[in-house]
Structures are given as structure tokens and as C-alpha cells.
Amino acid sequence: MRLLDLLVLGLYFAALAGIGWWVGHGGKDDSERDLLVGDRQIPWWAVLLSVLGSEISALTFVGVPAFAYSGNWTYLQVTLGAIGGRYLVGRFFVPAFYRHNVVSIYEFLLRRYGPWTRNVAVLVFLFARVLMSGVRLGAGALIVHLALGLPVNTAIFLVAVIGVIFCAVGGVKAVVWTEVLQVSVMLVGALSALLVLWTGTRGAIIPPGSLQVIDPVWDASKEFTLWAALIGTTLTNAAIFGTDYDMVQRMLTAKNSQQSGRAVIGSALAEIPIISLFLGIGTLLRLFYQLHPDPHLPESAKQVFGYFIVTQLPAGLCGLLIAAVISVLLSSYESALASLAGSFVVDLYRPLVPEREPAHYLWVTRMATIGFATLLMIVAIVSGGVEEILKLGLEIGTYFYGALLAVFGLALMRSEARPAGPDRWTALVAMPVAIAVVLGVKVHGGLAFPWYVSLGAVTARLLIWLGGNSGPSRRPEDDERN
């Protein structure tokens, strides 16, 4: 990297640190609630950008161009499911969370099923989120490794330490407001790269079939088809944005449920041009290196965009693109840390160690942030050698989210009319059994991962029904006495 690139990176990190410090020290208090939900004072447009920052991780920067580089645009179909799934979240999930004034969404399950089911749901979330976010951390570190010449593991450690500082000092407010900057830098950087590629491939002809968007074939073994998007991806988005605290946490920072719903639905619409942007980069990368052969071009498609950034972009713009990669990497990493630590403290630690001073829980939250950062680094190191990094990052969560979706769905339908009832034990058993069924199908093969959430949700719902979900209900006080 040249001097101007380093200057751009330095300015970016100075701006990031300034926002984090200002938010972390400019609030009305330093309470645990302020740390976890920002005292619900974040405007909806900032929540929208934060949701995008959490979702459009380094996987998007690395994996989506690699997908288009290898052949087609059928990945764009997932935006159809994103719109449908997030409409369900904005219409049903978010209003319920605000109505019950929860800090962690798993408090909602506590009122419906009791503590044991809540605790299992929290453990499922923690395990799934550590795996998913660890893979994203490893994917982003690949470009940092290429840009700065650092070993991959060193790049992982560097990003991890920076993310811990922002989360531990400023909480979710710092995460949200730094994500606003990070997403803005990401968009500017990606558009700049697209412009350079467009200039370098002017006059080239795109091969026929390389821009296929819709695949109408009914084939449950294919990941990106129209039917998988309309059914499988819709339920997957409903599960991710309705049951994963990493995604829901920033929604809970909005002033009310209407603004929160507007943010989550708007994020799905914003995905269409953003994913198209990165698919366009992948297609133009293919054309660029056909017109300008490079004997040193990496064989791995997931490294081509990073190689282009560090070898073809002019000084300053290269630094901006590296800042953009670090932006999305930090954005998804910081949000994961904040949600993991928040759910651990609110849902698991506080019930075990009640009635302590607020400062104690604040300290535990920050220590949990460091602990989960260590786990994410381990996963990132282990997953670094996987070639199909986009598929891996998308697939991991689908093993677990179907079980959570079924349990949350029943809680939404019956939380007021039927509080915690006798089905709490069947819900407790249904989650691990449904996850085991999905993993069994995964090992056996034949079913693409966009259908795993549907399979898990149907399995868990069936088990709860067979266990007597339609029986008479009891109030939480009755469960406590028993």
C-alpha cells in the first residue's frame, strides 16, 4: 500500500474512533440498558443502515463477486425472500417485542414457555451466531491479509481487537452509529471499484447466460432457485430477523415499533441494488482479466476481488476500498459481539446472579464481549481455508433457525391469551430434535440449505403439536409453584 492509501485508512480509523468515543461518552447514563438497546433513541434510518451493516458482511464483499465471477446472477433471487421474510418480522415480531418492552428477545420466550426453554433458545442462538460471525470474520481477514501483507491470523486478531474496543466502550449505540459510517464507506468504495472496472472493460461483450437471474426449475437440491427464494429464503429471513438477537438488537434501539418495522422492511428493499452492485463487480472482474490476463491472478475466485483492489486501483482509491472492506468486516463483527454479550448477560447470567449493582452487570457485559471475541477468532482461523465461503456463511445458521422460528411463532400467536403452558417441555425437547433432523438431512444430502429452516420449523412445530400443545394452559405463576 502507498502513502496515500495509508493516509486514507488513517483518516477512516480516526473518524471511526471519534464516533465511538463521542457516542460512548455522550449518553445520559452508562447503564446496562443503555449499553444494550441505546435507551431506544436511535432514528429509524440509522437502524436501517445498521441492519444492512450487520447483514452485508465481509461475505458480501468476498463471496458475492466470487459467485458472479464463476457464472451467473441467480443469487439475486434471495432478495425476493428477504422482502417477504422481513415484512413478516416488521408486521408481527417487532410489535410484540416492543409491546413487552424486552431488552433481549429471549425474555419473550420466558413469558411463554418458562426459563428452561428460554435458556435452550439462548444457547442455540449463541452457538449459531459464534459459528456464523466467526466465518464472516475469517472471510474479511482475507482481503486485509492481501492489502496489508499481514498473515491471515494476524489480520483476524487485529480486526478482533478493534471491534472489542468499540463494543466494550460504547455499547450498541457506538455499534449502530459506527455502522452508519461503515456502510457509507462500503457503498462509496464498491461504486468506485465498479466504475474502474467499467472503464477497464469498455467494449467487452458479456458472455450469454452469465447474467441469468431467475432459475424457475423446481429442484430442492439447488441453492438458488425461484422456489427456494420464495419459500425457503422467506422463512429463513423471518427466522434470522425475528429470532436472532444479533439482528433484532438494533431494531430494538428504534424509538417505537413503527420506526423499527420501517427500518427492517426498508433494509430488504435496499438489498436489491447492493447485491446487484457486488454481482456486477464479479461479472466485470471476469471480463477484466479476460482482457488483461495476469499470470499472478489467484486461482481461488474468493480472492480475485481483493487482488484487483491491491494491484489495479490507483493510490487513495485502494485505501478507500480497503477501508470499505474493513468497514463491513467491523460492522458485522461488532454487532455480533454486542448481541452475544448482551444475550449472555441478560438471559443467562442475570437470572443466576440477581440483584447486583448495575455497574456489576456492565462489567460482566464487557468481560463477555472479550470472551466471545476469542471464540470468534478461533472459528475464523479454522474456517479460513474453506473455498465456498459465501455458501458456508449462509448455510450455518439454517441448521438452527428453523427450531427457533417454530418456538417464537407459537409464542407470538399465544403469548397474551395463553401464557406459559404445559407445552413448555415439548418446546424444550423440540428444538434440539429439530436441529438434529436438519443435520441428519445435511449429512445424507439431497436437500439444499435454503430449505433447512423450513424443515426445522415444520419438525419442531409437529413435535410440539404431538406433545400436546393444544392442551389446557397455565399461568407463569402456576409454573413457578410447580
pTM for the model: 0.82
What pLDDT is stored for residue 390 in this prediction?
64
Other beta carbons within 10 angstroms of residue 403's beta carbon come to: 31
How confident is residue 482, by pLDDT bands cut at 50, 70 and 90?
Answer: very low
Residue identified by cell 420449523 is: 457
Considering only CA atoms, which of 220, 279, 232 is closest in space to residue 76? 279
Pick the CATH number of 3-390 from 3.60.20.10, 1.10.1060.10, 3.40.309.10, 1.20.1730.10: 1.20.1730.10
User: pLDDT, tens digit, for every residue of 229-244?
Assistant: 999 999 999 999 999 9
The Cα 230–Cα 234 span in angstroms is 6
Contact assessment for residue 278 and residue 65, using Cβ atoms and an 8 Å cutoff? yes
User: pLDDT, tens digit, for every residue of 427-477?
Assistant: 788 999 999 999 999 998 889 999 999 999 999 999 888 876 444 444 444
The whole-chain average pLDDT of the chain stands at 82
More confident residue, 260 or 143: 260
% of residues, the chain, pLDDT over 70? 85
What pLDDT is stored for residue 28 in this prediction?
47
The Cα 224–Cα 227 span in angstroms is 8
Contact assessment for residue 319 and residue 4, using Cβ atoms and an 8 Å cutoff? yes
The Cα 94–Cα 106 span in angstroms is 13
Domain boundaries, the chain: 3-390
The Cα 122–Cα 145 span in angstroms is 34
User: pLDDT, tens digit, for every residue of 390-434?
Assistant: 677 778 989 999 999 999 988 888 645 444 455 566 778 899 999
What pLDDT is stored for residue 29 in this prediction?
46
The Cα 479–Cα 115 span in angstroms is 10
The Cα 224–Cα 282 span in angstroms is 17
The Cα 251–Cα 92 span in angstroms is 13
User: pLDDT, tens digit, for every residue of 50-96?
Assistant: 888 777 766 777 788 988 887 789 999 999 999 999 999 999 999 99
Contacts of residue 210, defined as CB under 8 A and 6 or more positions apart, other chains included, come to 68, 71, 72, 73, 283, 286
What pLDDT is stored for residue 248 in this prediction?
85
Other beta carbons within 10 angstroms of residue 453's beta carbon come to: 31
